[in-house]
Amino acid sequence: MLGSIFFLFMAFVFIFFVVRGCVATQESTQVRKYITTADSILSDSSNTGAEQLQSVLASAEGEPGNLDAEAISQAANQSELLYSRALGNEEIPPEFNDADHYMVSALGVRADATERLATSAADNPDNFPEAYAQAVDSYRLSDGMLRNHYLPAVGGSLESVGQTRDQDFIEEPPPFMDYEETGFETATDDPVGARDDPNALHGVEITSVTVAGDQQMVPGGNVVLSGDDEPSFTVVITNGGEVPETAVPVEVIINTQAERQSQSATIERIEANGGTATIEVSGFRPGEVDETAEVTVEADPVEYEEFLDNNTLTGTVTFGV
C-alpha cells in the first residue's frame, strides 16, 4: 500500500516538473519569437528610410521638381505596411505590452510622416521643403521613442522573465535615415513637435555638485568647509531627454540651526540627448562653527518628466574654523 502511494506521489512530482518545464520552454520560445519579429520589422523600417526614401530624396539634389513622387509613394506604402504588421501582431507576451506600444507608436509616426511627404511630392512639390522639415521632426521623434522608450522597455521585460541573455540579440535601432544627406534642408535641429509631446522622453538629472569650488558632494555625504570657504554650489545638470529643455530652475536649500536658507538660479537651455549645463548657486550665510547643516539640491522637473528620483541630491556641510 505504502509502495503504491509513494509511486503515485513520484509520478505526480514527475508530471508536475515536466509540465512546468514545457510551459517555461513555451514561454521562452514565445518571447524569442516576439523579439525576432520586432527586430525584423524595425530593420525593414530602417531600410525603408535609409535605403529607399533617402536615395530617392538625394537623387532630387534638393530640387522639388526632380522628385520621383511614385517612388516616395512606394516608401509610404511600405511604412504603412510595416505599421499595420506591427499593429496586427497578436502574439505579444504580456510582459512586452509596454515595449510593443512604443514600437507601434514609432512606426505609426513614421508611416504618417512618409504619407505626408508622398502627398506633398505628388500634389504640392513647391511646398515639399517645408513638408520635409516637418517630417524630419516626426522621424526624430520616432527615433527617440525607439531609443529611449522601446529599447529600455524590452530590456526590462527580458529581465522580468529571466531571459537576459536574449539582450545580446537586440541592437539599438538606427535613425530612420540620415536627415542631413538628402539634399533638402531641415528647418531646425530641434524636434519641435516632440517638445510639446507627452510621449517624447523628457527628463533632467543632477550629474554633480561641487561645493566651495573643488569639494565634491555625493548623495548622503558630508563636505567640510574651512573658515574662508564660501558655501557656494556648482551644479551640473544633464538632459537625458530627446528634446532641448529651457528655463530649468535649480534650487539649493541649507537648513542651519538659525534659519532655512534657499537660493535659486535658472539654466537658460540644455541640449537634448545627454547635453549638460553648469550653474552656480551662492549667496548663503555660513552657520555656526562646527555646525553640520543639511543641504538639498534640486532641479525642478521639466514638463512631462516622469522619473524624478535623480532630480534631487541631499548631503550635509560642516562649517569649520
Give the Å distances, CA to CA, from 226 to 145, 269, 282, 295, 317.
48, 34, 16, 17, 11
Closest CA to 54 of 36, 37, 72, 38: 72
pLDDT in tens, 107-147: 999 999 999 999 999 999 999 999 998 898 888 888 888 88
CA-based torsion, 37, 43, 49, 55: positive or negative? negative
pLDDT of residue 291: 93
Q: Residues with Cβ < 8 Å from 91, sequence gap 6 or more?
A: 30, 33, 34, 37
304: alpha, beta or left? (left if phi > 0; alpha if psi -120 to 50): left
pLDDT in tens, 48-103: 999 999 999 999 999 999 999 999 999 999 999 999 999 888 888 888 888 888 88
- Rounded percentage of the chain residues whose pLDDT exceeds 90: 45
The domain spans of the chain are 14-194, 204-319
Give the Å distances, CA to CA, from 39 to 57, 154, 223.
26, 11, 49
pLDDT in tens, 4-46: 665 555 555 455 444 444 433 445 678 888 888 888 999 999 9
Q: Does residue 2 carry a pLDDT above 80?
A: no
CATH class of 204-319: mainly beta
Its pTM stands at: 0.55
Q: Does residue 195 carry a pLDDT above 60?
A: no
pLDDT of residue 208: 95
What phi, psi does 99 have (nearest 5°)?
A: -60, -40
Closest CA to 133 of 146, 121, 117, 112: 117
